[in-house]
Structure 1
Amino acid sequence: MTTAVNDSRAGRRCHNALNSLHATLYFSPDLTGELGALGVRHPRAVNFAVRAAAMGPVGAGAVAAAFYNYKYELVARHVPSVWSAASPEDVLAARARAADATLRRLLGERTVASAGMAEAARLALRATEACGRSARPLYSAHADLPVPEEPHLAFFHAATLLREHRGDGHLAALMSAELDGLEAVVTHTATGKGMAPKWVFASRGWSREEWDAAAGRLRGRGLLDAEGELTEQGVALRARIEAETDRLDRAPYEHLGAEGVERLTELGAAFAKAALAAGAFPADLIGKR
């Protein structure tokens, strides 16, 4: 029997722990190696293929809509042409191999085979039982994929489902706040928790001029000050966005219950901490500059 999740941010903390480990894949040499062997070598093509493959051989429009904060022209340079190099099925198989290698490399064989990993997989999969498909294209596509037998890959699969479920809901909150894709990135970076601009330019396709134009629009709305910092109104808007995202994402964590959420957060945070210590992310990834 589960107990109620009384802290509305408990689900967010649990998601953050799981997502931190999930995101290691996108910076993993194991992933670039596996996709490179298929003929997909450009970093952006790798990213689009790996996240979109569950939706099938979709075009640039579907990917740009589902990903939200990538410049359409960047997406169109790689999609749908990437599917000529590797089918979605081949990409999904390569992603599974890369996830296996990445988790073993960052966490070690003992952790991968541990009772804690098996417990984390059970808890995370239980949480996904309450996820909803409506208006959640990336989650729904991934929910059609089979659950791997190995506990560490089952955990990674469940973390992916929970990531995309929250992410799809987050896009609805951003749209409600009337932030376009780049404005959403600029305000997130201004919180100090988002990607540094250099990484946005490299990975999302936007230019410094487009960034500055978005910042100008945000200043016009009173959300940014002249130095690019969030105003009081901007801080309040970002808080409302996160609160609305929490609301739209509450079902899996209410289903899991307070004790389960607390335990899954504990396990996920320990895995993420170990991955971070193993050098999973670039040192300059997060920041305002």
Structure 2
Amino acid sequence: MSTSLPARAGRRCHNALNLLHSAVYFSPDLGTELGSLGLGHPSDVYFASRAAAMGPVGAAVVTSTFYNFNHELVGRHVPQIWRTAEPEAVLTARMRAVDTTLRRLLGDEAVASAEMAESAELALRAVEACTRPARPLYAAHADLPVPEQPHLAFWHAATLLREHRGDGHIVVLMAAELDALEAIVSHSASGKGQAAKWLLRTRGWSQDDWTAAEDRLRERGLMDAEGGLSETGTELRRQLETDTDRLDRAPYEHLGEAGVARLTELANGWLTTAFAAGAFPADLFGQA
């Protein structure tokens, strides 16, 4: 491995890659492709498309690995989704949706560009240093074949890097004694996560659940009376990301400072284009 990177260099790279990975979950193309398999409900589509790499797992495994979803919501969709569509068929449909989505958001010229091939090469090189132990979602995706087309290989690598960091982040959240809902409430309150209304709509929690989590965070001195983070809460969220950086440093140190800087530059360019093309709802992020 190379020497240490500049502070937060890996995180900045991850942030761009993570959003590019996530764009497919907001894409109508994913719903269309999985709808053709009989999966019509948005939760069916999300749970199936993200969990399929693990095989036909039950609700407990999905709740455990996804962390911030209400188990009752998961149980209404899993494992029933696998009786409708086999995981292998879901994965094939997901990759078709990725292809359509990236071509629509970035354009065919970008998809076929030398820069896209370079993005894939750099991201896959970073993945070489990811590790499987205690990282179930990463490990499951790591067993999938790398697509031949560069834009699909790039998305695959971004997915691996996203799940690798995400698995580590769950370890950090548990060490901080933040339960599933407290984790997303505090992240939303920081202004850096999804808006509360989106999380309530998609994670299966009620407003009463959300309010109770806020009360628990206030009891710990992590939130203020207005629903924002206190100084202590802000420091905790900062430390959570720093600790996650530490657990996720290997792929970016393996890629090296110049490689990380170039991958970040390329990923941010693709992300800017994707945002301009309407990849995400306008009110998705922030405290609104």
Q: Which amino acid aligns with 2:14?
A: H
Matching residue of 1:99:
98
Q: Which amino acid aligns with 1:107?
A: L
> How far apart in 1 are the matches of 2:276 and 2:183?
29
CA deviation string 1:236-272 (max 9, x = no partner) = 1001100000000000000000000000000000000
CA deviation string 1:164-211 (max 9, x = no partner) = 000000000100110001000010001101111111111000010000
1:218, 1:224 within 8 Å by CA — same for their partners in 2? Answer: yes
Deviation at 1:21, TM superposition (A): 1.0
In structure 2, the gaps of 5 or more residues are none
Matching residue of 1:35:
34
Matching residue of 1:191:
190
Deviation at 1:4, TM superposition (A): 3.0
Deviation at 1:3, TM superposition (A): 5.1
Matching residue of 1:79:
78
In the TM superposition, 1:108-119 aligns within 5 A as: 108-119=107-118
CA deviation string 1:85-134 (max 9, x = no partner) = 10000000000000000000000000000000000000000000000111
Matching residue of 2:282:
283
> How far apart in 2 are the matches of 1:3 and 1:40?
45
Matching residue of 2:242:
243
1:59, 1:80 within 8 Å by CA — same for their partners in 2? Answer: yes
> How far apart in 2 are the matches of 1:288 and 1:104?
31
Matching residue of 2:147:
148
1:162 aligns with 2:141: no
2:2, 2:254 within 8 Å by CA — same for their partners in 1? Answer: no
In the TM superposition, 1:128-139 aligns within 5 A as: 128-139=127-138
Q: Which amino acid aligns with 1:115?
A: A
> How far apart in 1 are the matches of 2:3 and 2:189?
34
Deviation at 1:5, TM superposition (A): 3.9
> How far apart in 1 are the matches of 2:223 and 2:196?
16
Q: Which amino acid aligns with 1:209?
A: D
In the TM superposition, 1:6-25 aligns within 5 A as: 6-25=5-24
> How far apart in 1 are the matches of 2:132 and 2:238?
25
State the number of aligned residues.
Answer: 288
Q: Which amino acid aligns with 1:206?
A: W
SS at match of 1:133: coil
> How far apart in 2 are the matches of 1:277 and 1:48?
27
SS at match of 2:62: helix
Matching residue of 1:260:
259
> How far apart in 2 are the matches of 1:174 and 1:77?
26
Deviation at 1:224, TM superposition (A): 0.3
1:8, 1:246 within 8 Å by CA — same for their partners in 2? Answer: no
1:166, 1:245 within 8 Å by CA — same for their partners in 2? Answer: yes
In structure 1, the gaps of 5 or more residues are none
Deviation at 1:7, TM superposition (A): 1.4
In the TM superposition, 1:47-58 aligns within 5 A as: 47-58=46-57
Q: Which amino acid aligns with 2:27?
A: S
> How far apart in 2 are the matches of 1:216 and 1:82?
35
Deviation at 1:8, TM superposition (A): 3.1
> How far apart in 2 are the matches of 1:165 and 1:127?
11
> How far apart in 1 are the matches of 2:2 and 2:251?
13
TM (norm. structure 2) is 0.99
> How far apart in 1 are the matches of 2:145 and 2:56?
18
